[in-house]
Amino acid sequence: MSTLATATDRFLSVIDTHRNLQELQEGTLAFHQQIPFASQDEINAALHKLLPTVRTAHLVPMGSVALSCGALVKFGGDPAICGAALLDRLPDLLRGVGAFLREVHERANVQEYEEPDLNQLINLHINDILESNPEAAFAYLSQRPLKLGTIAHLSRSKPLRALARSRPELVQWSMEADALKGETSFLTTMLRVLDDAALTVLHPGEQKGFEVRISGLADNFQLHTLLADALIGDPEQGLLGGQKPDPRVVAAARDTILPPNTRLTTTGAFNLWNWPGLLPDGTLPTGTTGGWWIWNEGTPADILTFDGKRVILLGPPPYSQSWNAGRQFGHMRGELTVEHILAPDVVRDWLARLASAPRPQPPTQ
């Protein structure tokens, strides 16, 4: 029996018999210390051995199991082994986290705190909620390791992300829990990642357009970087004028992990607009009115559709905006491919249809 196989058996024994969180943490650490020295076959064997526990463990030890599965995947394990089972555990977790946070808010409203800090309220009420609604409290306590383990799998597997997208209730429950916490979690961001998604990209000023396909882009900083790299080039070849980003920045947006302490920045080549930003004369507004902007801080999933297709309009940046190179999820490969350069008459048709289409209400600022 390999060293990792022995460590896996010991870890499972700890999961079954632990009496307190300290024992659970110590057992988890001892298991993780053996992972870097194992072969890929040994790592996959460990994942198969953990799979039944992934499916059945109580949420508290399940957090340690999920985190350990994530560690195995980080060292080359197959995310397909435990990935679907981890997704199956998310509904109970996310509903429980939401129930816990709602109860915290309800208790705070009853006691009429003045501008309370949510974390302080959680610390104040968690012991009472452990008594009144233990499963919700356990879900809240278990969420970080379970989410991290799940994200580790999703970031390495397009098929697993597709499976998650086929269950829209997962992102709905994750967003509901986020709203109660007043933040957007990394899990929500990951669950909203698009793969093999088509974009129509139009530059009204240069009367050019492109059909683009993207996968694995966690935010629009990454999208902006890869658009600039792919679309800027020789105008005689149908590409856009401008300066391409540093190749190192592009590599970091795709699949390269920057060395520690490396600081690379890039500057936006465009301003990205949703299609309703186009004026009736087929031009984009000037100035800094951002009602229909596609914010770099957002995600490709936020981009509005026209006739069922996500559309990006490109214009000149109204001011200089820079950001750090890299990816939110270092092990998720970012992809952007230009599939077609649109013919001039196709670009004109697109812009005419967009300019004359009824506008939705602009988003609130």
At 129-145, the pLDDT tens digits run 999 999 999 999 999 99
- Per the CB < 8 A criterion, the answer to whether 248 and 264 are in contact is yes
Coil, strand, or helix at residue 118? helix
DSSP class of residue 300?
G
* Residue 361 lies inside a defined structural domain of this protein: no
pTM of this prediction? 0.92
How far from 238 is each of 199, 207, 234, 271, 338, CA to CA, in Å?
A: 17, 10, 7, 19, 12
Asked if residue 127 and residue 67 are part of one domain, the reply reads yes
Domain, as residue range, for 327? 197-356
The H or E element containing residue 203 is strand 197-203
Give domain status of residue 319, yes or no: yes
User: What is the rounded CA–CA span in Å between residue 247 and residue 200?
Assistant: 24
Residue 244 and residue 135 share a domain: no
Closest CA to 142 of 176, 182, 184, 187: 187
Whether residue 240 sits in one domain with residue 150: no
Q: Is residue 192 part of a domain?
A: no
Q: Is residue 154 part of a domain?
A: yes
Segment 146-166, tens digit of pLDDT: 999 999 999 999 999 999 999
Task: At 45, list the tokens.
Answer: 């064997």
Looking at the fold, whether 231 and 268 belong to one and the same domain comes out as yes
Q: 277: pLDDT confidence band, cut at 50, 70 and 90? A: very high
The confidence band for 113, taking pLDDT boundaries of 50, 70 and 90, is low
Assign 35 a pLDDT band (cuts: 50, 70, 90). Answer: very high
pLDDT of residue 114: 58
Q: Show which of 187, 220, 250 is a domain's final residue.
A: 187
Residues 234, 178, single domain; the answer is no
Give 150's contacts (C-beta < 8 A, 6+ positions apart): 66, 70, 83, 86, 87, 90, 187
The C-alpha atoms of residue 324 and residue 326 are separated, in whole angstroms, by 7
Q: What is the Cα gyration radius of the chain?
A: 24
Tell me, yes or no, whether 363 lies in a domain: no
Q: Do 167 and 297 fall within a single domain?
A: no
Examine the domain organization and report whether 106 and 250 are in the same domain: no
212 and 238: one domain? Answer: yes
Q: How confident is the model at residue 223 (pLDDT cuts 50, 70, 90)?
A: very high
Contact partners, residue 43, CB within 8 Å, separation at least 6: 4, 35, 72, 75, 76, 77
Q: Does 349 lie in the same domain as 206?
A: yes
Contact 3, 43 (CB under 8 A): no
Is residue 364 in a domain?
Answer: no
